Structure 1
Amino acid sequence: MTDSSPARGAARTVLARLRAALDTATRALAQRCSVEGRLGARQLDAEQVPCFELAWAAAELLAAETAVDALHADSTELDAQLALLFAADAAASLLDRLDVIGLDVDGDNDVVQQLRSSPELRVLRRAAASTGALAAAGAAVIASQGEVGSVRLDEPHRLAQDSFRRFSEQVVAPMAARIHREDLTVPESLLQPLREMGVFGLSVPERHGGSAPDDREDALLMVLVTEALSEGSLAAAGSLITRPEILTRALLAGGTPAQQDHWLPRLAAGDPLCAIAITEPDHGSDVASLTLKATRVPGGWQLDGAKTWCTFAGKAGVLMVVARTDPDRSLGHKGLSVLLVEKPSYEGHAFVFRQPQGGVLDGRAIATIGYRGMHSFDLSFERFFVPDSHVLGGEAGLGQGFYMTMTGMVGGRMQTAARACGVMRAALRAAIRHAQDRQVFGQALADFPLTQAKLARMGARLAACRQLACAVAAQVDRGAGRMESSLVKLLACRSAEMVTREALQLHGGMGYAEESAVSRYFVDARVLSIFEGAEETLALKVVARSLLERALGRAGSAA
Structure 2
Amino acid sequence: MQRPGFSTEHQIFRESYRAFLQKEVQPHKQAWREAGIVPREMFRKMGDLGYLLVWADEAHGGLGLWDFRYQQIMIEEDNRFGEVGFYHTLHSRLVAPYLLHFGSPAQQARYLPACAKGESILAIAMTEPDAGSDLAGIKTRAQARDDHWVLNGAKTYISNGINADVVLVAARTDPDNPRRIGLFLVERGMPGFERGRKLAKMGLHAQDTAELFFNDVRVSKANVLGDAAQGLSYLKTSLVEERLICAVGSLANAQCGFDLTRDYVLERKAFGKTIADFQNTRFVLAELAAALEMAQVYVDHCVALHNDNALSVPSAAKAKLITSELESRVMDAGVQLHGGAGYMQEYEICQRFQDARVSRIFAGSSEIMKEIIARAVLG
TM-score scaled by structure 2? Answer: 0.93
| Per-residue Cα deviation, 1:269-325 (whole angstroms, up to 9, x for no partner) | 222111110111111111122221101123211111111111111101010111111
Give me the whole-angstrom Cα distance separating, in 2, the residues matched to 1:255 and 1:189.
27
2:98 is aligned to 250
1:365 aligned residue (180, 198, 213):
198
Quick check: 1:275–1:318 contact (8 Å CA) kept in 2?
Answer: yes
Number of aligned residue pairs: 378
**Secondary structure of the corresponding residue to residue 229 of structure 2:** coil
**Secondary structure of the corresponding residue to residue 384 of structure 1:** strand
| Per-residue Cα deviation, 1:174-219 (whole angstroms, up to 9, x for no partner) | 3333333x24311246434322332221232444321234xxx311
Give the direction of change, closer, same or farther, for the CA distance of 1:368–1:422 in structure 2 (3 Å limit). Answer: same
Please identify which structure carries the higher helix content.
Answer: 1
1:317 counterpart = 2:165: yes
> 220-229 or 454-463, which moves further after superposition?
454-463
Give the direction of change, closer, same or farther, for the CA distance of 1:164–1:466 in structure 2 (3 Å limit). Answer: farther
1:383 counterpart = 2:216: yes
Give me the whole-angstrom Cα distance separating, in 2, the residues matched to 1:375 and 1:536.
26
Give me the whole-angstrom Cα distance separating, in 2, the residues matched to 1:455 and 1:170.
32
Give the direction of change, closer, same or farther, for the CA distance of 1:507–1:224 in structure 2 (3 Å limit). Answer: same
Question: What amino acid sits opposite 1:379 in the alignment?
Answer: L
Give me the whole-angstrom Cα distance separating, in 1, the residues matched to 2:24 and 2:295.
26
Give the direction of change, closer, same or farther, for the CA distance of 1:427–1:492 in structure 2 (3 Å limit). Answer: same
1:509 is aligned to 340
Give me the whole-angstrom Cα distance separating, in 1, the residues matched to 2:250 and 2:4.
17
Give the direction of change, closer, same or farther, for the CA distance of 1:520–1:383 in structure 2 (3 Å limit). Answer: same
Quick check: 2:40–2:163 contact (8 Å CA) kept in 1?
Answer: no
Quick check: 1:204–1:212 contact (8 Å CA) kept in 2?
Answer: yes
| Per-residue Cα deviation, 1:457-516 (whole angstroms, up to 9, x for no partner) | 222222222222221111111112131222211211111111111111111101100111
1:191 is aligned to 43
2:118 aligned residue (257, 270, 292):
270
Question: What amino acid sits opposite 2:99 in the alignment?
Answer: L
Deviation at 1:261, TM superposition (A): 2.3
Question: What amino acid sits opposite 2:31 in the alignment?
Answer: R
2:155 aligned residue (301, 307, 316):
307
Between structure 1 and structure 2, the one with the greater Rg is 1
**Secondary structure of the corresponding residue to residue 383 of structure 1:** strand
Alignment of 1:444-483 (within 5 A): 444-483=274-313
Give the direction of change, closer, same or farther, for the CA distance of 1:188–1:398 in structure 2 (3 Å limit). Answer: closer
> 299-308 or 454-463, which moves further after superposition?
454-463
Question: What amino acid sits opposite 2:209 in the alignment?
Answer: S
2:373 aligned residue (543, 547, 558):
543
**Alpha carbon RMSD of aligned pairs, Å?**
2.1
Question: What amino acid sits opposite 2:214 in the alignment?
Answer: F
Alignment of 1:235-246 (within 5 A): 235-237=84-86, 239-246=87-94
1:336 aligned residue (181, 191, 196):
181
Give me the whole-angstrom Cα distance separating, in 2, the residues matched to 1:254 and 1:189.
28
Deviation at 1:250, TM superposition (A): 1.7
1:283 counterpart = 2:109: no
Query: Which consecutive segments of 4 or more residues in structure 1 shift more than 6 A?
Result: none
Quick check: 1:361–1:384 contact (8 Å CA) kept in 2?
Answer: no
2:229 is aligned to 399
Question: Which gives a bigger RCO, structure 1 or 2 (Cα 8 Å, sep 6+)?
Answer: 1
2:16 is aligned to 163
> 301-310 or 464-473, which moves further after superposition?
464-473
| Per-residue Cα deviation, 1:106-133 (whole angstroms, up to 9, x for no partner) | xxxxxxxxxxxxxxxxxxxxxxxxxxxx
Quick check: 2:85–2:207 contact (8 Å CA) kept in 1?
Answer: yes
Deviation at 1:161, TM superposition (A): 2.2
**Secondary structure of the corresponding residue to residue 360 of structure 2:** coil
Give me the whole-angstrom Cα distance separating, in 1, the residues matched to 2:366 and 2:286.
26
Quick check: 1:227–1:420 contact (8 Å CA) kept in 2?
Answer: no
Alignment of 1:91-240 (within 5 A): 148=1, 150-180=3-33, 182-188=34-40, 190-213=42-65, 217-237=66-86, 239-240=87-88
| Per-residue Cα deviation, 1:377-425 (whole angstroms, up to 9, x for no partner) | 12221111111111002xxx12111121122232222111111122112
2:324 is aligned to 493
**Secondary structure of the corresponding residue to residue 493 of structure 1:** helix
Question: What amino acid sits opposite 2:15 in the alignment?
Answer: D
Quick check: 2:5–2:300 contact (8 Å CA) kept in 1?
Answer: no
Give the direction of change, closer, same or farther, for the CA distance of 1:150–1:449 in structure 2 (3 Å limit). Answer: farther
Give the direction of change, closer, same or farther, for the CA distance of 1:169–1:427 in structure 2 (3 Å limit). Answer: farther
Give the direction of change, closer, same or farther, for the CA distance of 1:231–1:288 in structure 2 (3 Å limit). Answer: farther
Give the direction of change, closer, same or farther, for the CA distance of 1:421–1:151 in structure 2 (3 Å limit). Answer: farther
2:250 aligned residue (403, 408, 420):
420
| Per-residue Cα deviation, 1:519-543 (whole angstroms, up to 9, x for no partner) | 1100100011111122222332x33
| Per-residue Cα deviation, 1:315-353 (whole angstroms, up to 9, x for no partner) | 010101111111213xx32x1011011115xxxxxxxxx
| Per-residue Cα deviation, 1:411-460 (whole angstroms, up to 9, x for no partner) | 22211111112211221121122112211111222232222222222222
TM-score scaled by structure 1? Answer: 0.64
